[in-house]
């Protein structure tokens, strides 16, 4: 009986040792699998980081690339990194941004610019046509409102007729024109009436002395004719002055760069 109990004890201890060895081998294999998985995750993380860094360096604009890093622990904590890539500004781009010019009136960047006053920088550039339009609307004496210097110009040029502005015709202009036409008709009638009486032929050519009614009639005709002619001359002169003034407004001033801006550019 003692021998049987000893045999059972030895078998139980052998079975216990075998189970312990199996548990230890399972633990070792599990630890190896965990380490291999972590190594794979780290390798994948490194490749993902390198790919993100390469794509960020090739991109022409600033952007952010999220990369998730997993530490060597078994928890679910993660770290997110943003990689921002801002391309450096080349000297040519910076110089072109500095040299960009625009008209201070219409804010357009195209066309030919002049600097006719002492203003510098972006306030000095202006289109010739825009400045002419501004002077025509503001009715100033060709002096800059900013630097208070007179604009540099080389003369006036008459614009093509299709670029002329439409004249403003008021009721007074129409009445004035109608008065000139009526006075012209009255003057023509007075001259025709004098010729119908044949006063000039009877007195100057035939030598017949003038009669008393002829003297009164001729004096009246002369006085009325002079009044009509004077009024008509004033109306015609007024119309001619308005027309000349309108034509002068259609002339464009040819501006040039001022001496101050020429010295700066030199």
**pLDDT at position 159:** 80
What is the predicted pLDDT for the residue at 70?
46
Domain boundary among 24, 51, 82: 82
For 208-230, what is each residue's pLDDT tens digit? 777 777 777 778 778 888 888 88
Query: For all residues of the chain together, what is the average pLDDT?
Result: 72
Both structure tokens of 88: 């450096």
Q: Are residues 136 and 175 in the same domain?
A: no
Q: What's the confidence (pLDDT) of residue 229?
A: 86
The first and second tokens of residue 75, run together, are 């928890």
Inform me whether the pLDDT recorded for 102 exceeds 80: yes
Structure tokens at 165: 């502005």
What is the total count of domains within the chain?
Answer: 3
- Domain of residue 177 covers 171-249
Q: What is the pLDDT of residues 29-59, one digit of tens each?
A: 666 666 666 556 556 665 665 665 665 555 4
Work out the burial of residue 131: count CB atoms within 10 Å of its CB; fewer than 13 is exposed, 13-18 middle, 19 or more buried.
buried
Give the span between the Cα atoms of 4 and 78, in whole angstroms. Answer: 60
Question: What's the whole-model pTM score?
Answer: 0.43
Assess whether 194 and 227 both reside in one domain: yes
**Same domain? 42 vs 102:** no
Q: What are the strands, taking DSSP E only, across 101-145? A: 113-114, 126-127
What is the sign of the dihedral through the CA atoms of 19, 24, 30 and 36? negative
Does 180 share its domain with 143?
no
| β pairing state of 251-255 and 153-158 | antiparallel
Domain C-terminal end among 32, 60, 82: 82
Are both 110 and 214 inside the same structural domain? no
Could you tell me which residue, 195 or 55, shows the higher pLDDT? Answer: 195
Do 42 and 20 belong together in one domain? yes
Residues 149, 123 within the same domain: yes
The 10s digit of each residue's pLDDT in 109-122 is 888 888 888 888 77
Domain end residue (candidates: 48, 82, 116): 82
pLDDT, tens digit, for every residue of 82-99?
Answer: 444 445 555 444 444 456
160 within domain boundaries? yes
Same domain, 189 and 160: no
Share of the chain above pLDDT 70, in %: 61
Confidence of residue 248 (pLDDT cuts 50, 70, 90): confident
Confidence of residue 149 (pLDDT cuts 50, 70, 90): confident
Question: Rounded to whole angstroms, how far apart are CA atoms 215 and 227?
Answer: 18
Q: Is 87 inside any structural domain? A: no
Which residue's structure tokens are 């890093």? 69
260 and 139 within one domain: yes
- Whole-number Cα distances in Å, 238 to 8, 65, 144, 210: 145, 79, 33, 39
- Does residue 147 lie within any of the structural domains? yes
Mean pLDDT of the region 158-184 = 85
Q: Contact 105/134 with Cβ under 8 angstroms?
A: yes
Work out the burial of residue 168: count CB atoms within 10 Å of its CB; fewer than 13 is exposed, 13-18 middle, 19 or more buried.
exposed
- At 14 the pLDDT is 57
Are 148 and 99 members of one domain? yes
Please give the pLDDT value at position 210.
Answer: 72
In a domain, 88, yes or no: no
pLDDT tens digits, one per residue of 56-81? 555 444 344 444 444 444 444 444 44
Q: Both 153 and 259 in a single domain?
A: yes
Same domain, 55 and 101: no
Tokens of 52: 């993100």
Q: Has residue 183 been placed in a domain?
A: yes
In a domain, 157, yes or no: yes
C-alpha neighbours within 13 Å on the C-beta side of residue 231: 18
């Amino acid at each position: 009986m003692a021998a049987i109990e000893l045999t059972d004890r030895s078998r139980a201890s052998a079975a216990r040792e075998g189970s312990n060895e199996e548990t230890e081998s399972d633990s070792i294999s599990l630890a190896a699998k965990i380490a291999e998985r972590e190594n794979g995750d780290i390798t994948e993380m490194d490749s993902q980081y390198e790919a993100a860094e390469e794509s960020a360096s090739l991109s022409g604009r600033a952007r952010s690339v999220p990369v998730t890093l997993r530490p060597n622990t078994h928890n679910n904590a993660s770290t997110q990194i943003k990689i921002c890539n801002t391309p450096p500004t080349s000297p040519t781009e910076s110089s072109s941004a500095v040299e960009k010019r625009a008209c201070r009136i219409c804010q357009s960047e195209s066309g030919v610019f002049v600097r006719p006053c002492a203003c510098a920088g972006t306030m000095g550039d202006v289109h010739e046509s825009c400045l002419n339009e501004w002077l025509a609307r503001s009715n100033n004496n060709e002096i800059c409102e900013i630097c208070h210097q007179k604009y540099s110009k080389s003369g006036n040029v008459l614009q093509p007729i299709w670029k002329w502005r439409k004249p403003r015709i008021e009721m007074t202009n129409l009445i004035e024109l109608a008065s000139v036409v009526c006075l012209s008709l009255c003057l023509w009638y007075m001259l025709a009436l004098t010729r119908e009486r044949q006063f000039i032929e009877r007195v100057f050519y035939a030598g017949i002395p003038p009669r008393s009614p002829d003297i009164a009639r001729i004096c009246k005709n002369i006085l009325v004719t002079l009044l009509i002619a004077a009024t008509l001359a004033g109306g015609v002169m007024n119309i001619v002055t308005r027309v000349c003034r309108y034509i002068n407004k259609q002339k464009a001033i040819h501006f040039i760069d001022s001496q101050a801006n020429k010295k700066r550019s030199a």
